[in-house]
Chains A and B, each alone.
Chain A
Amino acid sequence: MSDSRREPHEFLPLSHQDFQVLLVLKNEPRHGYGIVQAAGEQFPAEPALEIGSLYRIVSRMLEQGLIREVGRPRRQPIDGRRRRFYGVTDLGLSVARAEAARLRTLLHSPQAVELLEDQ
């Protein structure tokens, strides 16, 4: 059952793993390993996503309506392995946007700026 009636801010704060999943799905649909791979490339400083944990997140996000299953993109090769592709929904995009804004507010606070300048 989808949680699409909930407002984006009700999902906040997102865990760093949830946020990563939404970010890597923002521009193109990906399958499970695609998500793990993209997260590893785009956020090398974050702890690696592991498959068991990832699919629990996928299961929950599908239920909450943050992501949805999409068809196989055309350029994806077909082999014997069974894969599903996932893309972000409008609600998912709004939630990711709200999380980014929340983080930005935090990072732009004078204390955070001061910390960053100390580095």
Chain B
Amino acid sequence: MTTPPSPPDAGLSGRTIGLLLGLFPRAFRDRFGDEMLAAFLDQRDAVISRDKTPRARTSFAVACLTLTTAVNFVRSACGERLGVRRLHRSSSSFESLPRGKESMFKSLMSDLRYAARILRKRPGFTLVAVATLALGIGANSAIFSVVHTVLLRPLPFGQPESLVRIWETRPDRGWMAVSLSRPNFRDYRDQNRTLEDVGAYSGTSLNLTGLGFPERVSASRISAGFFRLLRADPVLGRTFQPGEDEPGNENRVALLSYEFWRTRFSADSSIVGSSLTLDDQSFTVVGVLPPGSPWLDAAQVFVPLVRDPETDRQNFMLATIGRLAPGVSIETASSDLEAIARRLQERYPELESHGPIGIRMSPASTWIATDGVRRALWILLGAVGFLLLIACVNLANLLLARATSRQRETAVRAALGAMRGRIIRQMLAESLLLGVAGVVVGLAIAVWAIGLLKTLNPGDIPRLGEVGLNPLVLGFTLVVGLLAAVLAGLVPAFQVHYSDILASLREGDRGMAGSRGRRRLRNVLVGAEVALSLILLLGAGLLIRSFDEVMRVDRGFETDNRTFFTVNLPPSYEEGTRTSDFIGQLLARLDSRPGVLASAAVSARPIVGGHTGMGIVPAERGENVEGDVPWAVWRIVTGDYFRTVGLPLLRGRTFTEVDKIGEPWRIVISQRLAELLWPGEDPIGRHAVLWAGQDGFPGEVIGVVGDMRERGLESDPTLAVYLPFYGAGWTAVNFVLHTAGDAAPLIGSLRPIVAELDASLPVSNIQGLDEIVDNSLATRRFNMLLLLAFAGLALILALAGIYGVQSYTVARRTSEIGIRVALGASGTTIVRHIVGQGMIPVLVGIALGSLGAFGLSRLMSSLLFGVDATDFTTFFAVAVALGLTALIASYLPARRALRVDAVTALREE
């Protein structure tokens, strides 16, 4: 189903109508779609320009116009698809229809018209019913559109089904996804027999100069055939040619990402052939990539990964992809590469240090979203599914109550000769109309909710920016919405029994308290609503508890008034002591600024800084690295780093200017690492082997600091080795400032301070440490807020359901209550009786919901932290909270029974 693209001035109303055009048959749409949309936009613009009244009223008028046009479109599209040639009521209307179809259509239209009249007569009921459905439909539509874009939409590559991502594994160490070293990549590429091609990618960043203010751009180095392997054709120019990644050839060529070309170069179509200065070197732009994800948008600039003589097989730096040869399965290709890995381990003993090498390949269908995102999205889709079920049950309850109150009307119609089928169809026509209105309003809610989701974007949900309503989502919404409405309508419709109808005619109003069966059905529906809500509330409760646990873990560092920024030094700084000199001078300048309490430099930021690691063993174990080797994160720091980020120095001392990296190897280690290497002993002055199993440098411990969670708050405290910055030659330098108050006034002066030392150096990525921590929790917060919102909606719907049923019961039992009062029952007794009866389905619902949640707990456990999926406290608290709110919802209408006057009630009788 394709729809014409909406014009730029379409707005939300135009887009909604544009999407609904998709309902018409293709030939009709192709011929009239554009003009129908134009006619609607003309009509809308006329409403806007005519209405000089306040904006809110204009918006209301536009919404009404959109709604009526949408309903008309649905009706017209159905007519067009059914092949009904006429729209009017004249006798010739159905001349081209076969007789059966004609009468069916006529009676359907008449049912729909009657249903519309009935619904218009009871605006309160209609509003509640449509709002209930629309909430469920809108939430489903929004989450489904995210799931569709993120998980289901195919990748923008040719034959993506034969693409694989390739990792090595080291099962002995528990490393299940290791990037490839350059030499291993080359060997796999050249020796395999099962892959058509293999490509590699390495992320980096480069200084872009010569175009105004220097800036840091994200870049990646790729093997020459990378995009050819993906079968992604450039929108301009070409991709890299074979040999452009070979040393000695022309390597100074660059590709631009579509977004970078569009925003930084205003989509200049003559960009191909022009030159860019990246890290002081001139590159020629040879092409612009198409838009899309992944890989295509992974960097702003792509340059060739030039083959270099590096032989270090332990430097895991290349993301690798491959294309399976025709007819080859992932398993065959993995075995092929594993055989190569075994040969490499035999030839290069250093590859043995982490145990046997395995190969893991993941198909392209899993590239877009990580397992965590995938699982969270399915859980959220499940949650909105529950919400829709609750909305459906609530609507069924509303319709059931109304069917009971309209029993007399139904009885009269039956007495006048209406068949049972016709009466049922009439009821279904009403729920169908409610469904259509629910879909239209639900779509508007979905559009709003998608906007909200994009604003809340936690950052690690890929393609979220591309999420929007499309024909598939529209179809899903229509099907789900109409199905929900019809299902809800079926419940009361199939309660229509002639025996009841005739009984109600005989008994008059008295029989309408509802038959026992109908009352039982209402209780079952309330129970179901409560059970479903409880499951959602428990999910939300467990996520809230997890979030609280994460926030309370001991981070090891302080976040208040700590600000990071990055300065990337070009290769020319690698000569002599230029890097150390620059860092020393910049830190001195920063320290002299008012309000700066401390400043330091570090090779990588906490949490987001990546996992540079080394094996480390006590020197006593010598070169023998058999057995378990502790694996520690290493960071290069200046002496004040620990003080600046609030990491306590527990023993020994920190680095001073005399400590130069490798001369000798002096190190500061974290407390857990010290205890692991020398349990119960003083580690100061002890010697260890750094990069054990690799280069094997001897190191001396000069200090011990507290533990911090370098890999994020949800990981264990990290084993860490700190090395001195002096003499390190590290060029991507992160500076951190600890200020007395808000760092904002200082941030503006950072660029000038750096420019005083070197005007060509860009300052990038200015970020508070609290912001880094906050961002690392964004996904958890996103999941929690969404599930909480859905659970909140579910609770409101369930409470509304309980309240509605109780109100209805009290209203219908007025005469019975009157008799009880006349016989001497006290108000309290009556209220207790009604509340008691109302609470029975609630308690059953809570019990069943708890069982259901227990059954589903396994699904939730991967999203939890520090709390068990069957945590008793959460279960108990949520059940009690739901029970109490249900009690209130049940009590409030029951109180009305107190106002029943016995005499009046009996007179009515």
Known: A51-B72, A56-B80. A83 touches B92 (CB 8 A): no
Q: Which of B79-137 contact A (CB under 8 A)?
A: 79-80, 85-90, 92-93
Centre residue among B28, B46, B87 by max chain A CB count within 10 A: B87
- Roughly how many angstroms separate A60 CA and B42 CA in the complex, as a whole number? 23
Complex partner residue of A18 from B8, B69, B88, CB under 8 angstroms = B88
- Roughly how many angstroms separate A1 CA and B522 CA in the complex, as a whole number? 57
**Residues of chain B contacted by A103 (CB below 8 angstroms):** none
CB of A15 within 8 A of CB of B90, answer: yes
B428 CB to nearest chain A CB (Å): 23
- Roughly how many angstroms separate A58 CA and B80 CA in the complex, as a whole number? 13
A42 CB to nearest chain B CB (Å): 16
Q: Which segment, of A29-37, A88-96, A111-119, faces chain B?
A: A29-37
B1-41 vs A, CB cutoff 8 Å, 1 = contact: the mask equals 00000011100000000000000000010011011101111
CB of B90 within 8 A of CB of A31, answer: no
CB of A56 within 8 A of CB of B38, answer: no
Centre residue among B42, B46, B68, B77 by max chain A CB count within 10 A: B42
Complex partner residue of A82 from B38, B73, B87, B92, CB under 8 angstroms = B38
A59 within 8 A of B: yes
Complex partner residue of A81 from B41, B79, B86, B89, CB under 8 angstroms = B41
B43 within 8 A of A: yes
Complex partner residue of A52 from B31, B69, B90, CB under 8 angstroms = B69
CB of A52 within 8 A of CB of B7, answer: no
A53 within 8 A of B: yes
What does DSSP make chain B's interface, helix, strand, loop or mixed?
A: helix
B353 within 8 A of A: no
Known: A55-B32, A83-B38. A50 touches B46 (CB 8 A): no
**Residues of chain A contacted by B313 (CB below 8 angstroms):** none
CB of B43 within 8 A of CB of A51, answer: yes
Centre residue among A50, A51, A54 by max chain B CB count within 10 A: A51
Name the residue of chain A whose CB is nearest to the CB of B8: A80
B205 within 8 A of A: no
Give the size of the chain B interface in residues (CB under 8 angstroms).
Answer: 33
CB of B76 within 8 A of CB of A56, answer: yes
Name the residue of chain B whose CB is nearest to the CB of A48: B68
**Residues of chain A contacted by B75 (CB below 8 angstroms):** 52-53
A13 within 8 A of B: yes
CB of B36 within 8 A of CB of A15, answer: no
- Roughly how many angstroms separate A54 CA and B28 CA in the complex, as a whole number? 13
Name the residue of chain A whose CB is nearest to the CB of B79: A56
B57-85 vs A, CB cutoff 8 Å, 1 = contact: the mask equals 00000000000110011011101100001
A57 within 8 A of B: yes
Known: A36-B43, A59-B31, A60-B85. A53 touches B38 (CB 8 A): no
CB of A56 within 8 A of CB of B92, answer: no
- Roughly how many angstroms separate A37 CA and B49 CA in the complex, as a whole number? 14
- Roughly how many angstroms separate A17 CA and B87 CA in the complex, as a whole number? 9
CB of B42 within 8 A of CB of A33, answer: yes
Known: A52-B76, A56-B80, A81-B42. A32 touches B7 (CB 8 A): no
**Residues of chain B contacted by A37 (CB below 8 angstroms):** 46
Complex partner residue of B87 from A36, A53, A81, CB under 8 angstroms = A53
**Residues of chain A contacted by B35 (CB below 8 angstroms):** 31-32, 55, 82-84
- Roughly how many angstroms separate A56 CA and B39 CA in the complex, as a whole number? 14
Known: A32-B38, A36-B43, A81-B41. A52 touches B88 (CB 8 A): no
- Roughly how many angstroms separate A53 CA and B7 CA in the complex, as a whole number? 22
A30 CB to nearest chain B CB (Å): 11
CB of B46 within 8 A of CB of A56, answer: no
What does DSSP make chain A's interface, helix, strand, loop or mixed?
A: helix
Known: A15-B87, A50-B68, A82-B38. A33 touches B43 (CB 8 A): yes
- Roughly how many angstroms separate A53 CA and B675 CA in the complex, as a whole number? 80
**Residues of chain A contacted by B92 (CB below 8 angstroms):** 13
A9-45 vs B, CB cutoff 8 Å, 1 = contact: the mask equals 0000111111000000000000111001100000000
**Residues of chain B contacted by A56 (CB below 8 angstroms):** 76, 79-80, 87
**Residues of chain B contacted by A57 (CB below 8 angstroms):** 87
Known: A32-B35, A32-B39, A33-B38. A80 touches B69 (CB 8 A): no
CB of A31 within 8 A of CB of B39, answer: yes
A101 CB to nearest chain B CB (Å): 17
B901 CB to nearest chain A CB (Å): 48
Complex partner residue of B40 from A16, A51, A53, A80, CB under 8 angstroms = A51
CB of B36 within 8 A of CB of A55, answer: yes
CB of B77 within 8 A of CB of A36, answer: no
- Roughly how many angstroms separate A82 CA and B72 CA in the complex, as a whole number? 21
**Residues of chain B contacted by A33 (CB below 8 angstroms):** 38-39, 42-43, 46
A116 CB to nearest chain B CB (Å): 22
CB of A52 within 8 A of CB of B38, answer: no
- Roughly how many angstroms separate A32 CA and B43 CA in the complex, as a whole number? 10
A66 CB to nearest chain B CB (Å): 13
Name the residue of chain B whose CB is nearest to the CB of A14: B90
**Residues of chain A contacted by B72 (CB below 8 angstroms):** 50-53
- Roughly how many angstroms separate A82 CA and B69 CA in the complex, as a whole number? 19
Name the residue of chain B whose CB is nearest to the CB of A86: B35
B248 CB to nearest chain A CB (Å): 54
**Residues of chain B contacted by A60 (CB below 8 angstroms):** 85-86
CB of A50 within 8 A of CB of B69, answer: yes
Known: A59-B28, A81-B7. A51 touches B85 (CB 8 A): no
Centre residue among B8, B36, B39, B76 by max chain A CB count within 10 A: B39
- Roughly how many angstroms separate A53 CA and B9 CA in the complex, as a whole number? 24
CB of B89 within 8 A of CB of A15, answer: yes
- Roughly how many angstroms separate A29 CA and B541 CA in the complex, as a whole number? 64
- Roughly how many angstroms separate A81 CA and B36 CA in the complex, as a whole number? 10
**Residues of chain B contacted by A17 (CB below 8 angstroms):** 87-88
Name the residue of chain B whose CB is nearest to the CB of A57: B87
- Roughly how many angstroms separate A29 CA and B85 CA in the complex, as a whole number? 24
**Residues of chain B contacted by A32 (CB below 8 angstroms):** 35-36, 38-39, 42
Known: A50-B69, A52-B72, A59-B31. A13 touches B90 (CB 8 A): yes
CB of A58 within 8 A of CB of B34, answer: no
**Residues of chain A contacted by B79 (CB below 8 angstroms):** 56
Could you list some 19 contacts between A and B, CB below 8 A? Answer: A13-B90, A13-B92, A14-B90, A16-B88, A17-B88, A32-B35, A32-B36, A32-B39, A32-B42, A33-B38, A36-B39, A50-B76, A52-B36, A52-B72, A52-B75, A53-B72, A55-B39, A57-B87, A82-B35
Other A-B contacts than A50-B68, A52-B72, 13 sampled, CB-CB below 8 A, are: A15-B89, A15-B90, A17-B87, A17-B88, A31-B35, A32-B38, A32-B39, A36-B39, A55-B28, A55-B39, A56-B79, A59-B31, A80-B9
A residues with a Cβ closer than 8 A to B are 13-18, 31-33, 36-37, 50-60, 80-84
9 A-B pairs closest in CB distance: A15-B88, A52-B76, A32-B39, A33-B42, A81-B38, A50-B72, A82-B34, A33-B39, A52-B72
